[in-house]
Amino acid sequence: MCPAVQRTWPAPASAGIVSHVDTDPSSNVVVFQLRRGRDEHAAASAPTIADDCVRRAWDSARYRHHARPEDVVALHSEWEPSIADSFFIETTFPNAAVYYTFPRPDPDRWAEAFAAARDQLEAVATQGFAERAEQVERDGELLPMLWSASSPQFDLLETMPHRAVVPGRLYVSLAMVGPTRGGGLGVSHMTHHQLSPAGAFPGTFDDLFETARTTLTTGLRMEGYDNGVIDMHRDGSLAAPVVCLPDFHEQLAPLVGEDRFVAAIPCPQHVIVAAASSPHVRTIRSMVMESDYPSSEMIPCLLGVDRHGVSIVAERR
């Protein structure tokens, strides 16, 4: 069996690192991380100097997201909560972890605190692409990261911005991924605390996901074999997260010749694709179920893909 053709993923219409950051510190953004068995968080803003800023943000966010206090497992406020808000948090979200970026100043020092925060935010916003590129070269590359709900590490996903690929079964977060001295892959997961105006990854999850998507598809190889099977991989890095891209079905369906196909992930470095009617589906399924890849963020699985989305057909136990 020999490769019939090699293809690369088409470049998106727009790509690059989004550099816009809101530099107005007078409005405090509060993010409430929710535990609901799927990707969700609630966010809202309120006047920074208000003693009940967090309470106001919660009143706004909970109605828009139909959230309950018991849903909240963590919250991140750009500014340190006031004494009144700290009491509100302790009584309303007693088990939630609390994070903040800027310390709350004395009442007569807000002007100075805002000026210092604005300088810091503007410095982040004007950070050049070349500087970001050097960081990626030093620390790795920003990539999507798949998480299986059956993973023994799944509880850690609550600390990270993420979205559902298959609700209740498969999720995607973001991480810096790079080679280790031992020849393996090192992973540094992006947390909610890092995804903030003053964090290591300024911008929204959607903005950064687009950057990670561009990185993932750059250098992605699709080797089509004469039996109709396609092997997707990237040299020395991850390929599995390609299944979470919004145009995954659009790109692969014409190549396999059917609207519905299967995508096997025996390990994070490879995705094996074949038409749902292919006689090789049983072999591909065996590659997943017999994979010796250790259980980590992702468990080897076989996905069903059509124009309506992605489902899990089988998962190694």
pLDDT in tens, 102-158: 889 999 999 999 888 877 666 554 544 445 444 444 557 889 999 999 998 888 888
What pLDDT score does 53 carry? Answer: 95
φ/ψ (deg, to 5) at 197: -55, -35
What is the tens place of the pLDDT at every residue in 229-280?
A: 999 998 878 999 999 999 999 999 999 999 999 999 999 999 999 999 999 9
Which of 187 and 211 is assigned the larger pLDDT?
A: 211
Q: Is the dihedral of CA 23, 28, 29, 33 positive or negative?
A: positive
Max Cα distance, the chain (Å): 75
Give the mean model confidence (pLDDT) for residues 61-81: 85
Position 73 scores a pLDDT of: 82
Question: Does 18 score more than 50 pLDDT?
Answer: no
Q: Which tokens in the block code for residue 188? A: 């540094």
Taking alpha carbons only, the member of 1, 4, 2 closest to residue 255 is 4
Q: What size, in residues, is the chain? A: 317
Beta strands, E only, the chain: 3-8, 27-34, 41-47, 72-79, 97-102, 141-148, 163-166, 170-179, 185-189, 221-225, 230-233, 261-267, 270-275, 301-306, 309-315
Q: Is the pLDDT of residue 23 over 80?
A: no
* Tally of helices (H runs) and strands (E runs) in the chain: 7, 15
pLDDT at 11: 55
Q: Are strands 97-102 and 72-79 parallel, antiparallel or unpaired?
A: parallel
The CA distance from 311 to 79, in Å, is: 40
- pLDDT for position 19: 34
Between 198 and 125, where is the model more confident? 198
**Digit-coded pLDDT (tens) for 44-54:** 888 999 999 99
Please give the Cα distance from 90 to 72 (Å, whole number). 12
Using only C-alpha atoms, the chain has a radius of gyration, in whole angstroms, of 22
CA 128/CA 43 separation, integer angstroms:
28
For range 156-169, the mean pLDDT:
90
pLDDT level of residue 78 (50, 70, 90 thresholds): confident
